[in-house]
Amino acid sequence: MSIDGQSVPGPGAAAQGTTVPATRRAVIVGGNRIPFARAGGAYAKSSNQDMLTAALDGLIARFGLQDERIGQVAAGAVLKHSRDFNLTREAVLGSALSAETPVYDLQQACATGLETVVGLANKIKLGQIDSAISGGVDSASDAPVVVSEGLREIILDLNRAKTLPQRLQILSRLRPKDLAPLAPGTSEPRTGLSMGEHQALTTAQWKITREAQDELALNSHRNLGAAFDSGFFDDLMTPYRGLTRDANLRADTSMEKLASLKPVFGRNLGADATMTAGNSTPLTDGASTVLLASEEWADARDLPKLAAVVDAEAAAVDFVHGKDGLLMAPVFAVPRLLARHNLTLADIDYFEIHEAFAATVLSTLAAWEDDEFGRTRLGLDGAFGSIDRSRLNVNGSSLAAGHPFAATGGRIVATLAKMLHAKGNSNGRPARGLVSVCAAGGQGVVAILESL
Amino acid sequence: MTLPQTVILPEMPSLSKLYVNAAAQAARRRLLGAHDTATLPAEGHEVRGVKVDVENLTAYQHLIGETASDVLPAGFIHALAFPLAMSVLNRDDFPLPLLGMIHVRNSIEQRSPLVFTDLLDATARVENLRGHRAGTQVDVVVEVGPAGTGRVHWRGVSTYLAKGVFLPGIDKASAAEPKADFSAPDPTALWHLGVDTGRAYAAVSGDFNPIHLSVLSAKALGMRRSIAHGMYLASRALADVGPARGDSFAWDVDFEAPVFLPCRVALEISTEQGGAGAWKRSTFVAWNPRSGRRHFRGTVEALHEAHGLPVT
């Protein structure tokens, strides 16, 4: 029977235990993103809604989702215009998906993209929905510019005024300086320090060298370049505005070129400044999406099942007075998550540690390798452990690809799911991947994926 | 808390009138010669039933970085009672010139919270006239509590230095205390203070002292540029310490070098925990990130640790 509405399963469907099992697998079917552009580049005039819709339409085309009513779509942006309060819903309405697809927006700074994956996967596991699309988008080019606090108050007071004399009196408060617009700041509100300055403190604390940072950046570019060359991203990306590769990628960079760059963060600290534009992520524009589903939903449509979302953990650190570094929350989240599954770092086949800065990844690894930190801060018998570097960000990460804040989680999850599926079972167990994303406000979200 | 000799003012005095009066007094003294008594007025001043303007409170809280709660920030109470304190310094029998006095230290005990709906009684008096190697120091003691209760919920001692003023009978303090070398630690915060910082704080605190308002008005008083209000800086540091401080605490600050505007101020706040991980004390220190010169430093301390339980 076909109705022009939203059909409800008949009574008894739940009673038969077929649609609401206790928990079930949430699988990653695939992903799609647009190439990431440097701020002010190819997407300078594209809005968040434009880019998210473009990424969504590519996903819809790849998996034949035209007119499909998806269980729920969740996405978000970090730098968001107030008119974009329903950003994701507007993108869905402008896409080929059924207009009856429900949606929510989410904001968790740079962890936005990963958190949408986690939240939607949980809904699938609980049987609340059968399919979902997670996503994220950010534009550093088309960023909101706000009026000054003085002008804003005058406009709001004018709105509340009832008489002409009141309005004139309010207008007389206007001063020339009130007319200067404010660009969005990247400083932490409670400290006034930029993210780079915060990381510079952590970098100095863990004594991360310039060479180690440049080497990590070089590997990121080389790995991402090799992945493009081998066609790895062919089914993870749709071209947009003339871009077919991430515009920030410098596959031919070298240690010499990276070493020639001047430090930009931490120049006022006692230690040598080591963080440059080469080993820090640039401001970037871009969008990403991931298709999630129950196994039944994917099977019924003959869609691939790349990996399962096993579990996730969030953490936060008290960075305000320097107890921990701003971007160090994953250092605490990962040990908790692995302990819950009786796993160690040695049980992980691929690590995807978001490269906010090369030094962020290296400080994270240094904390895990530190005996005293393991004992006093993680409550372990000693160091948490070290990782096999050949398993780290093997197809490149944010230093090469760029980092459109909310879009990074989706980029990583789709990339990792494809790698895990390709590796498949070995040693009698599925391939395992760990995702780690740090975020502003001293937060972090980490997740385990497993091959199918 | 009524003093033996107290002048009860009908309302909170106007600061701008006090400043004008102080300027006139300074001119008069220049003409007639400074008077040479070395005693402080025994009388204190009191205002009863002071009302808090909630819009002013909200503007203050937002400027300083406090959440706009109903509890009065300790620095707000200082600003609220500041005209009363100035009125004592403005008396004809006060021996030091009000204009040009430097705020060198401030010590506040917030014993119990006050909320904006409370009517407040406030008293102010001066005490402890003493020598300093560079001039003469005096303490202004202000006490504030709920109207009609006689209880002191807030007590502030502001120490001012009249630079270059030496009164007969007041010994010059012995040689300068050795200044410990300051080497800047890693900052936990960085303030970007615009040139309008002084005007913004003047608007919420009512303290329109010209040295804070603009380059021109500051130059007229012999400063090379305008400077930030000391209590603005101290209040922001208190806000940065955060909610760990609770409702009752002692808050001390020593002002060392003026903060010329505009500028950046680097800050380090460190926390000391007592037994069972409870917050015990936060210390703050602020410096110029370019020159490394220290601007001010202080502590915020749980009150029962610092001074015993409040006595009312």
pLDDT, tens digit, 9 for 90 and up, residues A275-296: 999 999 999 999 999 999 999 9
pTM score of the predicted model: 0.87
Nearest-by-Cβ selection for B271 from A191, A204, A321? A321
Q: Does A322 touch chain B (CB under 8 A)?
A: yes
Give the pLDDT score at B172: 72
A202 CA: distance to closest CA in chain B (Å): 10
Active site positions of A, annotated: 110, 403, 438
* pLDDT exceeds cutoff 90 at A177: no
Q: Which of residues 152-211 of B touch A (CB under 8 A)?
A: 184, 186-192, 196
Query: For B13-61, what is each residue's pLDDT tens digit?
Result: 988 888 888 888 777 776 766 566 789 999 999 999 999 999 999 999 9
* Nearest alpha carbon to residue A363 among A423, A395, A414, A317: A317
Using a CB–CB cutoff of 8 Å, tell me whether A191 touches chain B: yes
What mean pLDDT comes out for the span A169-195?
82
Place of tokens 């790895």: A232
- Asked whether the beta carbons of residue A321 and residue B190 sit closer than 8 angstroms, the reply is no
pLDDT for B168: 84
Q: Of A172-181, A235-244, A251-260, A382-391, which gets the smallest average pLDDT? A: A172-181
Tokens 């003409």 sit at which residue?
A: B31
Taken as a whole, chain A contains a residue count of: 452
pLDDT of B220 reads: 83
Dist. CA B198–CA B53, nearest whole Å = 21
Q: What is the pLDDT of residues A217-267, one digit of tens each?
A: 999 999 999 999 999 999 999 999 999 999 999 999 999 999 999 999 988
CB-based contact A321 B282, cutoff 8 Å? yes
Is the pLDDT reported for residue B273 higher than 50? yes
Give CA–CA dist B229/B98, Å, rounded: 16
Interface predicted TM-score (ipTM): 0.80
Kindly state whether B273 is in contact with chain A, defined as any CB-CB distance less than 8 angstroms.
Answer: no
Number of A/B CB contacts below 8 angstroms equals 42
Tokens 């005996």 sit at which residue? Answer: A371
C-alpha span between A94 and A106 (Å, rounded): 19
3-state secondary structure of B25: helix
What's the N-to-C CA distance of chain A in angstroms? 35
Name every chain A residue with its beta carbon within 8 A of the beta carbon of B188: 191, 193, 320-322
For the segment A98-125, the average pLDDT, to the nearest whole number, is 97
pLDDT range class, residue A71, cuts 50, 70, 90: very high
Answer for the pair B285, B267: CB distance below 8 angstroms, yes or no.
yes
Q: Min CA distance, A83 vs chain B (Å)? A: 25
Whether residue B271 and residue A190 make contact (CB cut-off 8 A), yes or no, is no
What's the CA gap between B204 and B58, in Å, rounded? 9
Please tell me the number of Cα atoms within 13 Å of B266 on its side-chain side: 20
- Name which residue leads in pLDDT, B102 or B221: B102
Which of B190, B269, B290 faces A321 most closely, judged by CB atoms? B269
CA–CA separation, B261 and B244 (whole Å): 30
